[in-house]
Amino acid sequence: MLKKARIAVFVSGGGTNLEALLCAQEAGNIPNGEIVLVVSSSESAYALTRAANHGVPGAAINKTDMTQEAFEARLSEKLAEYCIDMIVLAGFLSILSEAFVRQWPERIINIHPSLIPSFCGKGMYGLKVHEAALARGVRLTGATVHLVNEIPDGGRILLQKGVEILPGDTPQVLQRRVMEQAEWILLPQATQLLAKQIVQEKEHA
């Protein structure tokens, strides 16, 4: 009987969302999943250090010197090596092709630092999202966790949480508040939701 879904977390930078996932796992808040692999698109990403600090294997796969097909082949090899059931994109800046995504139907989740469909799409990532929200003058932003499919920023929304924009906010201040009040809460919750679904499907297969 499969008790835990095997999870790979894809990262590119500091890994604050990864840290939230690992801490949630250690606190018992992802009972149906286990993070068994962290994949970074950069060898220097601090996220790999965070993974090592929690005893989770890490791998760096940089597509700079290879084609998209070769890059995704390397990813697939690593995922197969660790018998991965689901993928969590936690600040992963490398683009995944539709062909790759189709191999993981309803098995990839991504977090975006806005309330989709606002402030999403090409070029909207990281601090740029918060800059856009402040420039637009909206009073509410937040974060969204969604299943990834072939449609950019598409897929079924799993969870959303609003965060108030306050007078005097800078993009950096707003980014931190969205992380603390939304991203670090939603991502573990969504990971558990999908992991539980995978376990149930495996048990009834």
Compute φ and ψ for 134, nearest 5 degrees. -70, -40
Locus of tokens 């993009």: 171
CB of 78 within 8 A of CB of 117?
no
**Among residues 57, 51, 42, which one has the least CA distance to residue 22?**
51
Cβ burial, residue 96 (10 Å; 0-12/13-18/19+): buried
**Among residues 2, 1, 10, which one has the least CA distance to residue 191?**
10
- Please tell me what DSSP assigns to residue 65: G
Catalytic residue flag (residue 146)? no
Locus of tokens 């890059």: 71
Q: Tokens for 36? A: 């068994």
Number of separate helices (H) and strands (E) present in the chain: 7, 7
CB of 35 within 8 A of CB of 24?
no
* 3-state SS assignment for residue 88: strand
- The single residue of 112, 130, 146, 204 carrying the catalytic annotation is 112
Please list the active-site residues: 112
